[in-house]
Amino acid sequence: MIHKFSAIHRFLTLVLLLALVVAIAGCAPSSDTSSDQASEGNGNTLRVGLKPTDSDAQILFAEELGYFEEAGLTVEPEQISGGAAIASGVASGSLDIGSANVTSVASAYDEDLHFVNIAPGSMYNNSGPISQALMVAKDSPIRSAEDLNGGTVAVNGLNNITDIAVKGWADENGGDSNTLEFVEFPFPEMPGAVEQGRVDAAMMLEPGLTQALQTCCEVLGLGYDGIADEFMTSGWITTKEWAEQNPEMVDEFAEVMRKTALWANDEQNHERSAEILQQYLDIDSETANTMQRAVFGETLDPAMIQPQIDAAAKYGVIEERFDATEIIATSQR
């Protein structure tokens, strides 16, 4: 079993290392930007971290559609494979805003690192399009949660949304999460890990989910059901201090994300958004046009954030449950 301390220790270590890099850069004679200036942003330029997945593609859509330019914002997107690294970048000031799942934000809150959500990201609803699933190899003998007992599951982060979801799904469907071993894999590497037998199952997201279905894998279960039937999977976060120092930029960014969500959720725009995904992500035209598309939140609703906090408390990722409004920027409540 993976213990909370090891995950938090790695997280805090990464935060400290990134903070040290930023501090050194701020002290260099050739640089005109201090760490304080970095934390307050650089004019109307936003450094934004996102994962190379459909669920984080709001930034890409908004950039291509000119929404940021219309709002007077310049965005420098940086694709980063893991949510913990994005959160660390935001904490250190090397990023202004980043995508993070609620579990990561709750874990940081539990350790007095105060991130706040400023706009909703992707949503999960098991009655709608499914862009995440727990996958096994097509020839795997595993056909149920009970069959998975004692198995190894690939997730993109330990003590995070993907593994608490799988734990919840296993326990709710006749399995035993205490018998599972979780290992970290970047999302793009998961299909290969399942196909090669390095893991028994993997919690996959689009576009890797569709690619895996086409080649090596099939669905074992809807892993996110282990958290709730409907909830916000990720949001756009910054530090509480940055949000308080830059309220206008927070409002402008949130409005761009709302506008982008309305556009992306409209099926009439899926052909155009598929073109953008193909341009920025490592996927072909067929995958971009046939995969299930992420649904994006249009408002920050505490009721959609609370389920991950509750699940994190249930599985010991955080010490105790707290109210979701604690991790929403004051201006967005």
Tokens representing 36 are 């304080």
- What per-residue confidence (pLDDT) applies to 207? 84
Report the C-alpha dihedral over residues 229, 191, 158, 301, rounded to 10 degrees.
-30
Contacts of 227 (CB under 8 A, 6+ apart): 124, 161, 164, 165, 168, 307, 308, 311
Rounded distance, CA 195 to CA 111, Å?
37
> In the chain, what are the domain boundaries?
4-126+231-332, 132-228
Contacts of 281 (CB under 8 A, 6+ apart): 52, 53, 54, 57, 207, 288
Rounded distance, CA 290 to CA 27, Å?
49
How big is the chain, counted in residues? 333
Tokens representing 274 are 């598929």
- Which residues in the chain land under pLDDT 70? 1-43
Q: Which CATH superfamily is domain 132-228 in?
A: Periplasmic binding protein-like II (3.40.190.10)
Residue 133: CB atoms within 10 A of its CB come to: 22
Same fold, 4-126+231-332 and 132-228: yes
Provide the residue type at 89 as one letter: G
- What per-residue confidence (pLDDT) applies to 42? 54
CB 191 within 8 A of CB 208: yes
Rounded distance, CA 124 to CA 120, Å?
12
Question: Which CATH class, in words, describes the domain spanning 4-126+231-332?
Answer: alpha beta
Percent of the chain with pLDDT over 90: 71
- What per-residue confidence (pLDDT) applies to 206? 86
